[in-house]
């Protein structure tokens, strides 16, 4: 009944699993991303027609954590989830930043990416898992997206880089670096460091870009098995060629 596509690799000493075809099948793209004991459902949906009257790309990214993911149920007076926490807001932005530039210019279709944490093992942060899942969901959705991208977190301790450090390792690490990028380059770097020199910082970015390559290959293999037909690319905005000529004449 279900055509389930599943890919798995060993990454940083833990299994990274991407699965599609069983849950959220009405979405354009849906991926269940699992890393260690952390699991995130990532869905991507886009309108078939451009949104009228807008001159920007209407992309919404919503990362949400549920208390049941950590085995807890809200009690007391408030028995429902509250407003998004600071962590949820910042993670939504973390996912948005490397993905937004990879849509074609002139794409005005309203697009929504929702990442819901279903399980958290208290060791592997769901933010990187969500970014990978969102990239995979867009890649298989057919929506025009010039990806895929991969992402990873890098720590540094005793002169060695740590790929996707666990929570207890991160507390003792001199570096907390998140990198996202394509096969050819880095798109986003976000970090905090304990007075590390430039050589170590640059090396951490290069190391992270090398380590995301197996993830990108995995997403490509995933798309080969279950990707939907690609949408037509949007036409170039009217008057853009004329504007380019004007700029050339004046500058």
Count the alpha carbons within 13 Å of 198 in the hemisphere toward its beta carbon.
0
Residue 241's pLDDT is what? 63
- Distance of alpha carbon 179 from its chain centroid, rounded? 11
Distance separating alpha carbons of residues 45 and 29, to the nearest angstrom: 7
Count the alpha carbons within 13 Å of 97 in the hemisphere toward its beta carbon.
18
Q: Which pLDDT band, with edges at 50, 70 and 90, does 240 fall under?
A: low
Find out if CATH 3.30.230.70 is the number for domain 5-227. yes
Distance separating alpha carbons of residues 138 and 69, to the nearest angstrom: 24
Residue 251's pLDDT is what? 83
Q: What is the pTM of this model?
A: 0.89
**Residue 202 pLDDT > 90, yes or no?**
yes
β-sheet with 111-119: strand ranges across: 5-11, 14-20, 29-35, 38-46, 111-119, 59-65
Q: Which pLDDT band, with edges at 50, 70 and 90, does 238 fall under?
A: low
* Average per-residue pLDDT for the chain: 91
Cβ pair 41, 115 in contact under 8 A? yes
**Residue 233 pLDDT > 70, yes or no?**
yes
Q: Which pLDDT band, with edges at 50, 70 and 90, does 68 fall under?
A: confident
- Minimum mean pLDDT range among 16-20, 105-109, 175-179, 245-249: 245-249
């Amino acid at each position: 009944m279900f055509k389930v596509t599943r890919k798995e690799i060993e990454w940083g000493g833990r299994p990274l699993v991407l699965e599609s075809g069983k849950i959220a099948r009405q979405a354009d793209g849906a991926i269940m991303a699992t890393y260690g004991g952390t699991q995130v459902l990532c869905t991507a949906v886009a309108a078939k027609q451009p949104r009228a009257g807008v001159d920007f790309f209407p992309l919404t990214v919503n990362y949400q954590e549920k208390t049941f993911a950590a085995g807890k149920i809200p009690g007391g007076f408030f028995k429902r989830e509250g407003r998004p926490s600071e962590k949820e807001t910042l993670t939504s932005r973390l996912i948005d930043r490397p993905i937004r530039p990879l849509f074609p210019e002139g794409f005005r279709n309203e697009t929504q990416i929702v990442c819901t944490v279903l399980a958290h093992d208290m060791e592997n942060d769901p933010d990187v898992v969500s970014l990978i899942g969102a990239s995979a969901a867009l890649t298989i959705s057919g929506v025009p997206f010039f990806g895929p991208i991969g992402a990873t977190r890098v720590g540094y301790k005793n002169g060695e880089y740590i790929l996707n450090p666990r929570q207890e390792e991160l507390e003792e690490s001199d570096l907390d670096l998140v990198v996202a990028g394509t096969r050819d380059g880095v798109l986003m770097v976000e970090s905090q460091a304990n007075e590390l020199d430039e050589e170590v910082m640059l090396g951490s970015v290069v190391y992270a870009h090398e380590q995301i390559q197996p993830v990108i290959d995995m997403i490509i293999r995933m798309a080969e098995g279950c990707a939907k037909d690609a949408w037509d690319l949007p036409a170039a905005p009217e008057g853009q060629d004329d504007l380019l000529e004007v700029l050339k004449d004046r500058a």
